[in-house]
Structure formats: structure tokens, C-alpha cells
Structure 1
């Protein structure tokens, strides 16, 4: 589904070249749920931005279903992004001047979908994420967990093939984090949506099927889940410890 080849990202100054990503090769199959972990400055968010077509690499290729994204112009990339990609951000990116219902519906409204379909999709996803009772409220009236589930519903409403989540639990407490992560896991399994999540947290990463570790702009290690989340968490924690990373206890 998604493949990157010899991906590099560099920033140049008058005196130096800073390598952010260094010769990244990666394949992502349809239906995978992958977490990307690593210390600050490892290149996690830069990689996510390039994979999601928000940023461009210095060199290398990004393929979606064997199509080279670098060969598309800006208009084609924007269309591709609207039709194939959903985003979940740490700070929600909800519009406070709009109700929760209108925030979730926004991508379909922009695409000029019929009102009946928009309403039906909002109701379906709000029930899935457990926020159907909050549709008439405004984001500032919601808890952080409710906001993030509204953002997740908005990301899913266009039926994207892949969801990119950048530290989606970073501003949530443990209960709200668990609720969102369970929704992401179920979303991945029920709708077969590919999920790529950047996180610093072993607890969050344990909900995924695979964890990729980055260090100094390179892919450093990989762990696959056997289906036992607690065992997976312990494996993640052990590797993070050996790499000098910080970990949290799994409850």
C-alpha cells in the first residue's frame, strides 16, 4: 500500500548539513497498525509528515499503490490527500466556532456531499466513538478525550485508506487515552483502515500491531505483536530501556 525508498531529509545552513532522515526504506501493508517511536529529534514527526504528503523529502521516493507521489503536482497531491488520508493531531484541530456535529461533517461538506449522507455518516461515527450525545455542543464544552474522539470521527468520515496520528494521546489522561486507543484499535480492525501513529509512550504503542523504533534519523529496530498486549508492552519497554528511552508502566 505504502512504500518509501531511500528517503532522506536534510536542512542546509551556510556551514552545515543537518540530516533529519537518513536512507529510510519502509513498506506498510493495508490494514496494518504501526507505531513509530524514538527519542526527541529522532525524525518521527518528519517521517510522518512526508508519508502523509504534508512535507517533501530531500531525495527518495514515496509510493502509494505503486504511484510515485513526487510525480504529482500540488493540485493532484491535495486531491489524493482528501480522498485517501485522514489526520488525528495532538491538539485536536477542532473549530471552536462550530458544533461537534459540524466539525465532524466538515470534510464531507467541503466535498459537497448530500446532506442526508453527511448526517447519516456523522451519526454512525459519533455512535462508534461514543459521542452521539455531544453533537450539539461546541468543542470547548467537551473533555480532552471527547474532543479527540470527535477529531477521530472527522478523520474517518471520508473513509480514508490510511490514518496518520501524531501523538494523539499526548494531551489526554490515562482513562481518555485508553478510550481513544481502543477506538483506534477497533477502527483498524473493523474498518480495515491502516493506522500509522507517532508516539513516545509504550502504553499507547502496545495497542498497535507493530512498533518501529527510530534513532538519529534511521530505522533502528522493529517489534511485532503476538496479540498479547501486555507481553507486547513488556517487549517495547525492554527495547526502549536498552536504547535509553523513557517508559511508563502498563496497568
Structure 2
């Protein structure tokens, strides 16, 4: 169930200066994300999707503008404070998994808790809990090279969840997966949102992936130019997303 406002971004701008030229990536973006929402951000290549995700997740500072979590401005913090805030509140899932090949699946999942200095019994309990959530128990003693892409992404999701973050940011999480693995992962995202109440913000170019969200924000030329809200019927939502993408010249992906 969606709750109170968690993230509020106002008048976000991001610019780069190269040899005296100014390149505008984001312009005056306002976003509000409530606790328990599942939001997809879509747009053509170069529209600013990943830059927006990086700013909202505190990885990257905006040129100007404000990002508040529960009313607190994060970019007023010092870098060390932001790093701690990020560790305590935010989970990440990337397209390329970012697993450590020399560590077992069990150790990859446990890594955030190990870094935080949690006791072994608690770590073992939480690893077992999230491995079970993603049906990864048979793979715990294996290494990333032994897993499929879909399994690796589930490991990455379990690792993102194990520290109990307030919000999960996912950047093209299905981009390297086949259609079957994508569906399995997206169903896991839906469970994360519906059953665990996790707030999810996902950047995707894939209309099928976006249809699993409850809200889609469309970004073009550094600005949010449209928003769609799901009625709860995923097929109808997918059709609406396809219509928007077709009318705006965006990428169109068929359900497979």
C-alpha cells in the first residue's frame, strides 16, 4: 500500500560544460515518489533517464535543484554523510549485475550486511530469507559464472534487499535478459513491491517491463513530458504505454 511522500525532487537541472559549450541533460524536473510506489521512467536514448536515476539515488549531484527524503535535503550533507545515507536507505540493481565473480552467491548476497558489521547469525538468517524469496537456495554455494543471466539478476536483487532499504533503484534491470528471465525477474519486482512494500524506481526502455509498474514517467529532451497511471490491469497499461511511445516516436517493444 502506498503511503506518505518519501522522495521529493524540485527544479532539478543537470548541465555539463565542455570547451565552453553547455550541454543540458535535465531541465527543471519535479518528481514526488510516495512510500510503496513502483515507478518506471522511460524515454529515448540520451533523454536523461539514467542521469535522473543517479541524482534521485544520490550517486550524482545535480547542477541545481533539490532532492529530499522524508523532508530532508540530501545534497546539503557532506560526501561521507551522503555515502552513509545511501548505504542505510538505498538499494541498487544494475543491468550488468555487478556481482563479485570470486565470491559465492551466498557471499554476494550477504556482502552489504558484512560491510555493515552485522553478526553472523543475523546475516545467515537474512541470506536464507532472501534466497528463498528469489528461489536461489540451490545456487547459494555456486559462483556467478555458473548461473544464468536471470539468476544473476535475482542474486543482485537479493543483495539489494538484504539491508532493508527504503527504496530500490533499478537501471535497465531486464536489459541483458531473455524474455523468460525478464518475466521471472519482473514478477519478483512485483512481489517486492506488493508483498514487501518496497518502493521501486526503475529506468527502462522496455514497454513490457514498464507495464509492471504502477506509474510511468516519460522523459524527453531532459524534461518529463507525460505520466501514465496503471488501473491495475497490466495488459491495458501496456497498451497505453505502447500508444504513448508510438505517438512520440519512442522505442516500441512487443510482448513476447
Which ranges in structure 1 are unaligned for 5 or more consecutive residues?
none
- Equivalence for 2:178: 173
Greater Cα offset, 41-50 or 14-23: 14-23
The match for 1:206 among 211, 221, 230 is 211
Report the CA distance between 1:13 and its aligned residue. 2.1
In 2, Cα distance between equivalents of 1:247 and 1:181? 18
- Equivalence for 1:234: 239
Question: Which structure 1 residue ranges, 4+ long, deviate > 3 Å from structure 2?
Answer: none
In 1, Cα distance between equivalents of 2:75 and 2:101? 35
Q: Does residue 1:147 correspond to 2:157, yes or no? A: no
The match for 1:81 among 76, 81, 86 is 86
* Partners of 1:100 and 1:150 within 8 A in 2: yes
**Structure 1 residues 185-223: Cα deviation after superposition (integer angstroms, max 9, x where no partner):** 110111111000000000000000000000000001000
In 1, Cα distance between equivalents of 2:107 and 2:124? 10
The match for 2:44 among 35, 39, 47 is 39
In 2, Cα distance between equivalents of 1:46 and 1:107? 24
* Partners of 1:230 and 1:250 within 8 A in 2: no
- Equivalence for 2:192: 187
In 2, Cα distance between equivalents of 1:59 and 1:249? 38
- Equivalence for 1:95: 100
Which ranges in structure 2 are unaligned for 5 or more consecutive residues?
1-5
Q: Does residue 1:160 correspond to 2:160, yes or no? A: no
- Equivalence for 2:142: 137
The match for 2:227 among 201, 222, 225 is 222
Give the TM-score of the pair, scaled to structure 2.
0.97
In 1, Cα distance between equivalents of 2:119 and 2:75? 33
Give the TM-score of the pair, scaled to structure 1.
0.99
In 2, Cα distance between equivalents of 1:136 and 1:13? 48
**Structure 1 residues 135-170: Cα deviation after superposition (integer angstroms, max 9, x where no partner):** 000000000000000000000000000000000000
The match for 1:105 among 86, 91, 110 is 110
